[in-house]
Structures are given as C-alpha cells and as structure tokens.
Amino acid sequence: MTSPLEARSLSLVREGNTVLDDVSFTVAQGEIFALLGGNGAGKSSTLLTFLGFLEPSGGDILVNGTSVGSDVALARSAIAYLPEAAALYGHMTAYENLDYFLDLADKLASQAEIDAALERVALLVEARSRRLQSYSKGMRQKTAIALALLRETPILLLDEPTSGLDPIAIDEFHDLVKALAEGGQTILMVTHDVYGACQVADRVGLLRRGKLVGSFAAENNKRINTEAVHAAFAEREAV
Amino acid sequence: MMLRNFAREIRFLSKDRGALFWLALSFILSVIAVSFGVTEVREQRETIANLIEEDAADRANALEGQEDWGSAAYYAFHFTYAPPSDFAFAAMGQRDSTPWKHRVRMLALEAQIHEADTRNADFGLVGRFDFAFLAASVVPLLLILLLYDLRASERSASRHDFLVATAGSSLSLWFPRALVRVAGLALLLLVPLWVASLIAGASGMVTLQATGIVVGALAVWWLIVELVSRIKASPSVLLTSLIGLWLALAIVVPALSKAVIETNNPIPDGGEILLLQRETVNDAWDLPKEATMKPFIETHPEWREYAEIEEGFEWKWYYAFQQVGDQKAAPLVEQYREARLRRDRQAGIAALLSPTSFVERAFEKLAGTDAVSMIAYEDEVRDFHAELRAFHYPLMFPEKDYDSGLLAELPLYKPES
C-alpha cells in the first residue's frame, strides 16, 4: 500500500551546504510521525520539500505515491500545512481569516461547519469576531488548526506546532492531533520538543545535521529516546 | 475559478487599509488633475472667445477713418489662435511653453511669432499637474506602493509559504492579488478621465486610446515591479530598488536623452530670428530703395511693373521691406523649425527607453498639444499672414483707390483644428 508521505534517499544542498543527506522515511495513513532535531538539523527543510518549496538535490519526495516534483499543486492540495508561527492575518477576524484561507484552498465551508471547527479547537465564541492581532499565540494556533480541520486534507504537516504555547494549550493541541490521526489523517510534525513529540507521536525520527540517525516507536521512548535524542541535540552547536 | 479568486482578493483588499489609502489617493489625484485640465481649457476657450470679439471690435475701430490701403493694413491687427482640442484637458503639453495665440498684422511676421519664445516660463520650473503628468510620473509610484511588498511583506510575516501551500500555486494567489490592485488603480484613475472626456466632448476613440495608454503603462510598470519583487529581499530593499528604477526611468533617462538630443541638434534661438528680421527691417530705412525692391521682386515678380518707388515714403516699399525681412529670416526660421521637429522625432525614439516620457508624449499627441501641433499652428499663422499679403498687395501695389467697403473681404483667421 502506498504511504501518504515518503522521503526516498532525500538530499538537499543549499548554497554549498548539505541540509539533508540521504534521508528516507515513510509515514503511514493515520500515523503521527515526529521529526526531532536541534536548530539547523533540517527539520523545516524536510517539510518544505514535501510542499515543493525546496527542490531535492537527490532522491525523491512522494505524496500519495506521486513525486512532488512532477505535480506540486496535486501534492499541496493533499496537505494542510501549519507553520511555526500560525501566520494568519492580524487585521482580520478568525471568521474572516478562515473565509479567506478556505477560499484560497478552493474549499467551501458553511458557517455551521466553521463554528463546529472553532468549537473543536476550543476557540471562545466571543473571540471569533475579534481581529487576530488581539489574540494570544495559542488562540492564533487554534484558528490555524481549525483551518486545517476544515480543509479536510488527508495529510497534515506541522512545523514546531507547540512552540510558545502554554502547557494547557499544548495538552489540548496534542489531544486534537491524536484525534485527527485517529480519524485517518496522516501527520508529519517537526519539533524540538522532545517530550511533547514522544507523548503525541506514534514514531519519532531523529535528525542530526541533515541525517536521519534513528527512528523509534513511541512506546519505547522512555528509555531509548533519552539517549539518542540527547546525542542528536548535542550536535546542534556545531551546525 | 478565476472569478472566485478575484472576488476573494477584492474582499481581502477591502480590509487592507494601506492599499485602500493609496487607491483613494489615486482617485483624488485623478479628479484634481482632470479638474485642473478642464478648468484650464475652459479658461483658454473663454480667453479665445473674448479675444475674437475684442479683436473684431478693435480692428473695426482701427480701420474706421483710414484713407489708404497701407494705413488700413498697418493699423489692423488680426487675432490668431490654436484652440485647445476637446481632449486637451488631459495633457496641456506644449501649450504651457509655446504660444497658442498671436495677434499679427501686415508687418514682418517672424518677429511677431518669435517675440516671445516661451510663455508661462514658471511652468518650465514646476510643470503642470495634468492627467498626463499623473499617468506618466505619479501613477508608477502609486503602483509601486501598492505592489512592492505583496510577496515581501508575507515573507517577513512568515506567511508566504503558508499562503502558497494553501493556494496550491503562486498563480492563483499573487496574480489575482496584484491584478485586483492594478485594476482598482486603473479604474480609479480612469473614471475621472472618462467623466471629464464626456463633459469636454472628447471623441470616444481618443478616450479609448487614452485608456489603452494608461492600461499599457500600468502593465509595463506592473511587469517591472513583478520582476523586482521576485528578488527575495526585505520590503524596504525592494521599495528602495523600485524607487531607484523609477528615478532612472522617469527622471534620469529623459534628462540624459534631452541633453544628448539638444547637444546633437543645436537650435537657433527665437531671439536670433527676431533680431535678424528687425535689423533687416530697420536697416531698410537707410538703404537705397532698390536694395529692398530687388529682392522683393525676385520672389514677387508679379509686382515688377509697380516696383519703382518715386516718393520718399510709399507703403508698397514699406511692406516690401517687411516682406524682405521675413525672406532674410526664412533660412533661420526653417532651420529653427526643422531642428525642433528633428529634436521631437529623436525624443520620440528616446521615449521608448522611458515609459514616463512615452506616456507623456502619447497623451500630448492625442490632445494635440505636442510640438508638432504647436509648429503646425505657427505654420497656420504664416499661411494666414500670406493670405493677408495676398489680399493687400493687389490693392496696394497697383495703387488702387481706397474703398473701405472692400475691407469686409479681409481674410479672417480660421484655425484648421
């Protein structure tokens, strides 16, 4: 069976620097795969190659079995992407943002569906008609997640999704991500939040200076990850 | 699908206060520019209408009581003018720096034309804020301000990739987003122009051509902004680069072209023509009459049998030396005329390097306010003056009896356009 996401011997060289070096992994349908690594390990670059923003120097990137390079629009249509800073428009309300981005994604949603999504991410009703510039980071993140929910794409890419969130918001977010995966969505998240990743992911991959140095099932995380993860992060100063 | 993209971006634009400010400013500037133009054209038309009336009354007054053809010709002034076209409100062009009205009489003509090379010299410094100036020079800046950071601002807000990933392709995002702004700008600029064209009675074809020029200029500047804004730089760097390009294309290139064209095509001063002719005319008083009549007869052999001057002063001798003054100045006049036309032709070629100059010139041509039109007016004045001479000489040279009734047939200036 074709994996929704697959990196096949992926290499990426930018301005003479090796960013990714022979990285291979697959993410199965309904699976949450977390890529862990220090700053500059190549995590975000991996996501950007799946979205077609960076062209691999070697290997291939496949979304639903199709090479991203051959049809980037098709790949993007299957993916909802949540960047690190949920970069919605501050001068627009949550409703207006969702309306704009859903339209941009060529997706129609009724007001009831939008409210249901906002309800699911627990964004307060009274906040929904306020401009996002008055939102906390967590509220903005919730709005962006609601967008991802409404888009109903089979794949979700998350870039440092819990960065800057308070512990309660992180817990809520993890619950939501798990629920999405249970609903069949394939999720690839990159993070440097070791414990968060181990808590939410089915599998964890460790990126060190562009190399995938390990991949572990989350049930083993208590013992294995502590050592391997520390080894991966120890390299970050040299990067 | 495309319509849906535009509808989405129109909604987005309606919430972008910065863009709305620039668009509103464009509309206000356009209204101001066409209002200035319409007012100026109305004033020029009123001036012409008043002067036509006053000129007729003044001439009737001057001719009353005259007893010979020479005096009648001497005291009768004739008002000539180049009426502004119906589209002149959009581009006053050379009408600000070249005379569009002359009051001439039967004396040597060229001095009357070149009495003042430049009118409204103050406009030479500040320029006039008409629609052509707005479309040529100001609109590119407004377009730059509307478009320069479409991508860069999204990049600096870390939203670029999110937006493109959501849209699926750049085309369905940036193209409609930019097009909505460009179309909005075009519409807000053109609506006042269209309304003014209707009020002024400009032809639909001319208005359509003007619309095409504005849209074309916007397209060229859009392309420039698009190419520059693809560079992955901060909004401030992009803005600085684009303003630099605007300076180069709108100021530096035209200034350099002008300097090169003027150096390569020296032009006699209008004052030189005036001086040469006046000296010729003044000298004639002290020269033997033969020295005047000989060159006159060479060009007007039909009056040879009347060329003998018997008295100390005769009107036919007086008008002959006026004519000879024009003849003497003719090579310089021709040189002046040709050099201006040559400069204009070369400026037209140089304008291909500057969208600003191109638009300005295109508008002046449509409005009939370009150098060619103004030279054509001077030629019309010369033709009219030739008609005056053709009317007077057959009465003056054979020394026909004065009959004031014949003055009703005096040629009247009728502009061709």
Nearest C-alpha in B relative to A88: B159
Element containing residue A60 per DSSP (H, E)? strand A58-63
Residue B312, pLDDT score: 78
Domain-by-domain residue ranges, chain A?
A: 5-78+153-238, 89-152
Nearest C-alpha in B relative to A83: B162
- Chain B residues in contact with A73 by the CB 8 A cut-off are 168-169
Residue contact B168–A53, C-beta within 8 A: no
Residue B141, pLDDT score: 96
Residue contact B168–A106, C-beta within 8 A: yes
- Chain A residues in contact with B172 by the CB 8 A cut-off are 104
B167 and A CB contact within 8 Å = yes
Region A39-64 average pLDDT? 91
Q: Rounded to an integer, what distance in angstroms lies between the CA atom of residue B214 and that of residue B139?
A: 9
Nearest C-alpha in A relative to B1: A106
b vs e for B39-53, b when ≥16 Cβ sit within 10 Å of the residue's Cβ?
ebbeebeeebeebee
Element containing residue B39 per DSSP (H, E)? helix B17-63
Q: Is the model's pLDDT at A219 over the cut of 70?
A: no
Residue A32's beta-bridge partner residues? A187
DSSP output for B177-243:
HHHHHHHHHHHHHHHHHHHHHHHHT--HHHHHHHHHHHHHHHHHHHHHHHHHHTS---HHHHHHHHH
Cβ count near A33 (within 10 Å): 23
Residues 6+ apart with CB under 8 A from A237: none
Element containing residue A199 per DSSP (H, E)? helix A194-200
Q: What is the DSSP letter of B266?
A: -
Q: Is the model's pLDDT at A235 over the cut of 60?
A: no
Residue A237, pLDDT score: 44
Domain-by-domain residue ranges, chain B?
A: 2-30+132-263, 33-127+265-409
Q: How many CA atoms lie within 13 A of A152 on its CB side?
A: 8
B4 and A CB contact within 8 Å = yes
For residue A173, give how far its alpha carbon lies from the nearest alpha carbon of chain B (Å). Answer: 19
Continuous H helices in B157-170: 160-167
Residue B90, pLDDT score: 96
Residue A157's beta-bridge partner residues? A81, A188
Q: Which of B273, B232, B220, B255 is nearest to B112 (CA)?
A: B273
pLDDT along chain B (417 residues), means of 10: 87 93 97 96 95 94 90 93 96 89 89 67 62 96 94 87 88 92 97 96 96 97 92 88 94 94 86 80 79 86 83 85 88 90 94 94 96 93 94 89 90 86
Residue contact A101–B173, C-beta within 8 A: no
Q: Which of B43, B48, B118, B38 is nearest to B417 (CA)?
A: B48
Q: Class of A5-78+153-238 per CATH?
A: alpha beta
Residue contact B169–A91, C-beta within 8 A: no
B11 and A CB contact within 8 Å = yes
Cβ count near B299 (within 10 Å): 12
Please provide residue B168's backbone torsions phi and psi, each rounded to the nearest 5 degrees.
95, -40
Element containing residue A212 per DSSP (H, E)? strand A211-217
Q: Rounded to an integer, what distance in angstroms lies between the CA atom of residue B411 and that of residue B45?
A: 22
Region A140-152 average pLDDT? 89
B353 and A CB contact within 8 Å = no
CB pairs under 8 A between A and B: 61
Cβ count near B170 (within 10 Å): 12
Helix (H, G, I), strand (E, B) or coil at B195: helix
How far, in Å, are A80, B131, B179, B254 from residue B30 at the CA level?
A: 44, 7, 20, 24
- Chain A residues in contact with B150 by the CB 8 A cut-off are none
**In this structure, what token pair is assigned to residue B250?**
């709108």
Q: What is the DSSP letter of B250?
A: I
Q: What is the DSSP letter of A38?
A: -
Residue contact B161–A106, C-beta within 8 A: no
DSSP output for B232-246:
---HHHHHHHHHHHH
Residue A162, pLDDT score: 82
The answer to whether A11 and A57 are in contact (CB under 8 A) is yes
Q: Is the model's pLDDT at A226 over the cut of 50?
A: yes
Q: Rounded to an integer, what distance in angstroms lies between the CA atom of residue B137 and that of residue B143?
A: 11
Probe site for chain B from A49, A99, A103, A158 (most B CB atoms < 10 A): A103
B201 and A CB contact within 8 Å = no
Q: Rounded to an integer, what distance in angstroms lies between the CA atom of residue B108 and that of residue B113?
A: 10
Residue A39, pLDDT score: 82
Q: Rounded to an integer, what distance in angstroms lies between the CA atom of residue A4 and that of residue A8?
A: 13
Q: Which of B322, B382, B370 is nearest to B113 (CA)?
A: B382
B269 versus A43: the higher-pLDDT residue is A43
Amino acid identity, position B19: A
Distance of CA A68 to the CA centre of its chain: 17
As a whole number of Å, the CA-based R_g of chain B is 29
Residue contact A51–B161, C-beta within 8 A: yes
Element containing residue B298 per DSSP (H, E)? helix B289-299
**In this structure, what token pair is assigned to residue B173?**
């995002």
B137 versus A163: the higher-pLDDT residue is B137
